[in-house]
Structure 1
């Protein structure tokens, strides 16, 4: 592919998934391959430049300014890609004086709080650095193995999570042992080296893999094979990279602004839906969202807000019209209470604690005529927890028994594959086996997911609920799928977040008492069923919209991949 085509389609490519970041990486890769700017036959070739660099290096060695260091000849199989004819392959140690720093003894207070800047690898910011978090004394410089780096030296991090991070010193400074610095020889533009090292980030990270803490050594760095252009072209490359990176900054800012506007428009549209006074008004607002979906949403993840709005509208009675012919909730609750008394008398359930009438202060929103606010325990009078023995760290196989993990019930759809195999030396407890149509809920989970529920549509045999998964038993006068909608709505989410116990947000707990006492809106039974049908219909539309968005993103991603392959043709896919 002609680079000119790439530049003309630059902004289009930025719209691909993670497009701007991929463009930044591609710019650097093209730069060090000699494909970002044209070659000028009038430039002094890199072979002549390299001879001058070698002459300067010998002079500095003779004057004992640097140490002598030899490098092995470069082999054909070490080359990453093809380079222009007037470029040369070199080892990084040939184009500069490299040296790592050290950490003065922390136990010696005379080494710290001085005037010499001392940088650690975490302070490298992929740009210029001038102020260090700590400073050391002249005594530390004298007594410790420290290298005093010059202004304009290029730094690279060698250890841990920061491996491959780079910076340019805008001041004289030292570093710790996790940073290697390079003073470029005459003829090597430090900003070209800076971009070269950034382009090699993934390579350096791969070289550091394998140990408990990833690291690369100075020896690995100086022996790394890299391309050297003529000096004039180095400067043209840097100028072009600066230009394109500035464009990336603008595209990134524009995309962020677009997302902020979309978020505000999305919130306004959803607020209108949530504040709809009747079903007709809701339908109008919903249609408006569908017609402007491309404007309101540009990635599948945003559709989650729309799904939550649908659930909330459902449990507020705004999703379907009320039918005056429906048996009102006041009659329904009498039947539920009569059934509960009968079951108590027959000894089929235990008497629950007395549930108080829902106070006005507890009511989160108004509900339609014919509905009632009740406690969850009224329609789900019995809750059981399962069993959590020490299990194998793998899913069950074949006829083995397994125990559910909380992740099986955390994501709106029951996932039976999220289980751990019961050890063969333990007897299963069949009374806890999962059955179709079970209403399951997590009693322990993250603050965002605690209390999430699913209804088991289908399952596999010999799966048991754990003690962190609750099974709720409902009145025969209830429609479970409606209560699953409510239990996963924002109203229930806020309630569980408020009532859950536990100091860590990564593991919150809710008790049965908390669940029993949650205020729940009770519609007529027939309306519960209509609500479920409507929710399913609208969620299906969300699925279609998400699918279109994903297809669009996949197409953008494939376009980016095609462009990358075309531009890197003849070279390695990546450094």
Structure 2
């Protein structure tokens, strides 16, 4: 596939994840391999340019304006990263100009105004946005002193980040006046009038980034040293070709901008269409209205759900429809929920008298204003449909090397408990903890402390383990109340909104037991609960299948783009 064919297929190929960004990288890589614009045999070869640089460098040394540079090692045949066109040359970066750093500026010399003093983070922002809010400064007097004896940025010099996000270039403008932090930022003094925009393109290529990271010094923080920067092999085209390359890069980057804008507009349109379709479905009050909106979604399903990220909203809509009573038809022969709740209330009163459970605190009457429910349903509260709502051990239990697993918030996953990595407590400690909270079959475990508050699972035939304070245990009043139905409610938008609406915001979000007991529950008959759970399971399985297919489609697009990139780079 030729470059022309590739550009003709931009719209198709950039649909891959990060497609436009990869396209930008490809353009830059093709540029520095001499594959983006045709060569002109009348151009002065890069070898002549290098000779001119050498002569100019010797003159500056003789005049005492620069120190004699260190001899750079030659580039061996084995050290050539890729083949170049005939008039191009490989050279070390340090052969093209002086790479250095600033004089040390001590922290005591930092000021709140004066001459801007830039670190790597400011250079990154300048490179991205062309402007930066300066935070640090040095005095005018110190700047003048440093200017007399050190390297000061001048027009067409390159500033290059040396720590953190290394190798990011910024071309110094005529209007720029600043100093920079030693080691944090390197400077390429463009003594020999090289085309700085081509060098900036080069310093954004995957080749440059991969090379400096491969051998960057440092462990937790990458660094680019002067000596390492000096030795990076640089592909140098004739000066006139450099200008043609930059012009072509500008043209293609503008096209990438247009593609990116178009993609964003398409994505925003999809999101708006998706939100409107689901909102109409969720707010439909009459069966005919609901059926009409559902038919529209069915007709446009491939358009609405063509990206994996749209599936999350579909899942949420399914759960919301379930607890609104719109997912399965009602059966007039079902026992009304009011009868079920009366029976549960009578049974709980009996258990209180027998001292098997504690008496619940009186909570305000449920207003049932969260959304309408069908005839036969009743709004209630969690404490009215559960036998127990509690949480794990509040005090830190002593750990042992092996024994009974200790489950924390991190062990509670969506739909299962992961006990592969836990601390342990002794059997004796576990027995004490279980007097307060003993997880058993059909209990709901829900994270109630931390960023994952609201994540939950229904446990089935669990092995013994102990819970800590960050996990709440909810025991539904079975068989009348299905734990799976309460799980549907808690995972639905109406459930999650109540959870996070009652979370105490502090250093760590916390949902107290009293707030869980007060959560409002739309209660259908037991028979309808079963139908709802079965339908939710069926639809969630279909969502799983759809998500897998969409991910596979994206992976295929990504592989196609990568294969095209490889083909172009080796062509």
- Structures share fold, TM-score greater than 0.5: yes
In the other structure, the counterpart of 2:97 is 96
Q: Which moved more, 1:89-98 or 1:174-183?
A: 174-183
The 1:15/1:112 distance shift into structure 2, 3 A limit, reads same
Deviation at 1:283, TM superposition (A): 4.2
Is 22-31 or 433-442 further displaced after alignment? 433-442
> What SS does the corresponding residue of 1:245 show, helix, strand or coil?
helix
Aligned to 2:296: 288
Q: Are the aligned partners of 2:380 and 2:523 in contact in 1 as well (CA < 8 Å)? A: yes
1:573 corresponding residue in structure 2:
none
Q: CA deviation at 1:271?
A: 0.8
1:300-350 CA distance string (max 9 Å, x none):
122111111111111111222222211111111111011112222333222
- The match for 1:414 among 392, 407, 416 is 416
Match of 1:149? 153
Equivalent position of 1:444 in the other structure: 449
Match of 1:10 in 2: 10
Which segment drifts farther, 513-522 or 145-154? Answer: 145-154
Compared CA separation, residues 38 and 428, structure 1 to 2 (3 A) = farther
Q: For each residue in 1:95-149, what CA deviation from the matched residue of structure 2 results, as whole angstroms up to 9, or x when unmatched? A: 112222246344347x7734x5543322223358477725544421343464222
Deviations 1:162-219 (A, max 9, x none): 3222211113433222211223354631111111111112432343353343221112
RMSD: 2.7
**1:561 aligned partner:** 562
Are the structure 2 counterparts of residues 208 and 139 from structure 1 closer, same or farther at C-alpha, using a change threshold of 3 Å? Answer: same
Equivalent position of 1:310 in the other structure:
318
1:181-200 equivalences under 5 Å are: 181-186=187-192, 188-199=194-205, 200=208
Q: For residue 544 of structure 1, report the CA deviation from its aligned partner.
A: 2.6
> Following the alignment from structure 1 to structure 2, what is the Cα–Cα distance between the partners of residues 425 and 34?
71
- Preserved contact between residue 407 and residue 418 of structure 1 (Cα < 8 Å): no
SS, match of residue 107 in structure 1: helix
Moved more, 287-296 or 526-535: 287-296
Counterpart CA distance in 2 for 1:502 and 1:384 is: 20
Aligned to 2:519: 518
Report SS of the residue matched to 2:21.
helix
Structure 1 residues 184, 147: CA separation in 2 closer, same or farther (over 3 Å shift)?
closer
Contact persistence 2:403–2:427 (CA under 8 A):
no
SS at match of 2:203: helix
- Structure 1 distance, partners of 2:36, 2:427, is 66
Q: Distance in 2 between matches of 1:454 and 1:92?
A: 58
Change (3 A) 1:356 1:25: same
Note if 1:337 corresponds to 2:371.
no
Determine if contact 1:100/1:180 at 8 Å carries over to the other structure: yes
Q: Deviations over 1:60-105 (max 9, x none)?
A: 2112222211212223343222222322111111011222224634
Partner SS, residue 470 of structure 1: strand
**1:360-379 alignment runs, 5 A limit:** 360=367, 363-379=369-385
Secondary structure in structure 2 of the residue aligned to 1:319 = coil
Report the counterpart of residue 176 of structure 1 in structure 2: 181
Aligned to 2:20: 20
Gaps of 5+ in 1: 571-575
- 1:400 deviates by 5.5
* Residues 533 and 391 of structure 1, relative CA distance in 2, 3 Å threshold: same
Corresponding position: 1:485 with 2:488: yes
Matched with 1:274 is 282
Find the aligned partners of 1:494 and 1:561 in 2 and give their Cα distance. 42
Deviations 1:247-301 (A, max 9, x none): 1111111111111111111111011110122455434433422332332234212
TM superposition shift of 1:417: 4.4
Shift of the 324–556 alpha-carbon distance from structure 1 to 2, 3 Å rule, reads same
Q: CA deviation at 1:557?
A: 0.7
Q: Compute the displacement of 1:519 (Å).
A: 1.5
Q: CA deviation at 1:472?
A: 1.5
Q: What is the distance in 1 between the residues matched to 2:119 and 2:422?
A: 44
> Cα distance 1:131–1:17, how it changes in 2: closer, same or farther (>3 A)?
closer
Counterparts of 1:391-402 in structure 2, within 5 Å, are 401-402=404-405
Output one character per residue of 1:503-533: Cα deviation in whole Å (capped at 9) or x when no partner.
Answer: 23xx211111111111111111111111112
1:155/1:182 contact within 8 Å kept: yes
Offset of residue 462 of structure 1: 4.3
Counterpart of 1:422 in 2: which secondary structure?
Answer: strand
Counterpart residue number, 2:259: 251
Paired with 2:25 and 2:512, the residues of 1 have a C-alpha distance of 50
Report how far residue 482 of structure 1 moved.
0.9
Q: What is the CA–CA distance in structure 1 between the aligned matches of 2:48 and 2:253, rounded to whole Å?
A: 31
Does the C-alpha gap of structure 1 residues 426 and 208 become closer, same or farther in structure 2, counting only changes over 3 Å?
farther
Contact 2:109 2:138 in 1 (8 A): no
- Mapped to 1, the partners of 2:48 and 2:245 lie a distance apart of 19
Change in Cα spacing, 1:339 to 1:25, as seen in structure 2 (3 Å) is same
Answering whether residue 537 of structure 2 is matched by residue 529 of structure 1, we say no
Q: Is the 8 A contact 1:129 1:170 kept in 2?
A: no
Distance 1:501 1:11, change over 3 A: same
Contact in 2 for aligned 1:36/1:237 (Cα 8 Å): yes
Question: What is the alpha-carbon distance in structure 2 between the residues aligned to residue 81 and residue 435 of structure 1?
Answer: 64
Count of residue correspondences: 554
In structure 2, the partner of 1:211 is 219
Structure 2 counterpart of 1:68: 68
1:124-135 alignment to 2 at 5 Å? 124=123, 125-126=126-127, 129=130, 133=134, 135=137
On the 8 A contact 2:122/2:132 being kept in 1, the answer is no
